[in-house]
Amino acid sequence: MSPADLSDPGHRDTSNPLLRSMYYRLKPIIPWTVRMELRRARARRLLRRLSATWPIDEAAGRTPAGWPGWPEGKQFALVLTHDVEGPLGLDQAPRLAELELQRGFRSSFNFVPEGEYTAPDGLRELLDEQGFEIGVHDLHHDGSLYRSWTSFREQAKRINHYLAAWDAVGFRSGFMFHNLNWLKDLDIAYDASTFDTDPFEPQPDGVRTIFPFWVPRTVASGYVEMPYTLAQDVTLFLVLRQTNITVWMRKLEWVAAHGGLALLNVHPDYLAFDGRSRPCTYPAKLYEAFLEHVAIRYGDRCWHAPAREVAKYVASHAQAAGTALKATG
| Rounded average pLDDT over 80-91 | 97
| Rounded average pLDDT over 113-123 | 97
| Rounded average pLDDT over 160-181 | 98
pLDDT value of residue 33:
84
Number of folded domains in the chain? Answer: 1
**Pairwise CA distance, residues 211 & 65, whole Å:** 11
Q: Does the residue 197 lie in any domain?
A: yes
A 10 A CB-CB count for 271 gives 25
Is residue 13 scored above 50 in pLDDT?
no
For all residues of the chain together, what is the average pLDDT? Answer: 91
pLDDT value of residue 259:
98
Is residue 96 scored above 90 in pLDDT?
yes
Is residue 5 scored above 60 in pLDDT?
no
Q: Does the residue 39 lie in any domain?
A: yes
Q: Is 55 helix (H, G, I), strand (E, B) or coil?
A: coil
Q: Does the residue 326 lie in any domain?
A: no
69: alpha, beta or left? (left if phi > 0; alpha if psi -120 to 50):
left
Is residue 327 scored above 90 in pLDDT?
no
Q: Is 299 helix (H, G, I), strand (E, B) or coil?
A: helix
Q: Does the residue 329 lie in any domain?
A: no
**Pairwise CA distance, residues 243 & 203, whole Å:** 26
**Pairwise CA distance, residues 159 & 145, whole Å:** 10
Q: Does the residue 16 lie in any domain?
A: yes
Which residue(s) pair with 190 in the sheet? Answer: 170, 224
37 burial type by CB count under 10 A (0-12 exposed, 13-18 middle, 19+ buried): exposed
* Residues counted in the chain: 329
User: What residue numbers bound the domain in which 98 lies?
Assistant: 3-321
Contact criterion met (CB below 8 Å) for 90 and 117? yes
Is residue 149 scored above 80 in pLDDT?
yes
The predicted model scores a pTM of 0.90
Predicted confidence band at 325 (pLDDT cuts at 50, 70, 90)? low
Q: Residue 174: CB partners within 8 Å, gap ≥ 6?
A: 112, 137, 138, 140, 141, 142, 143, 145
**Pairwise CA distance, residues 78 & 302, whole Å:** 7
Is residue 1 scored above 50 in pLDDT?
no
Q: Does the residue 328 lie in any domain?
A: no
Q: For the segment 274-301, what is each residue's pLDDT rounded down to a tens digit?
A: 877 778 999 999 999 999 999 999 999 9
Among 10-14, 61-65, 303-307, whose mean pLDDT is lowest? Answer: 10-14
Pure H helices in 50-136: 87-101, 121-129
How is residue 93 annotated by DSSP?
H
Contact criterion met (CB below 8 Å) for 211 and 186? no
Q: Does the residue 84 lie in any domain?
A: yes
Among 7-16, 56-65, 131-140, whose mean pLDDT is lowest? Answer: 7-16
> ∠107-72-170 over CA atoms, to 5°?
30
| Rounded average pLDDT over 187-215 | 97
CA–chain centroid gap for 17, Å, is: 21
Q: Does the residue 93 lie in any domain?
A: yes
Is residue 7 scored above 60 in pLDDT?
no
pLDDT value of residue 23:
57
pLDDT value of residue 31:
84
| Rounded average pLDDT over 96-118 | 98
* CATH number of the domain bearing residue 207: 3.20.20.370
Q: Where are the beta strands (DSSP E) in the chain?
A: 76-84, 108-111, 133-137, 170-172, 190-191, 213-216, 222-225, 261-265, 271-272, 282-283, 302-304
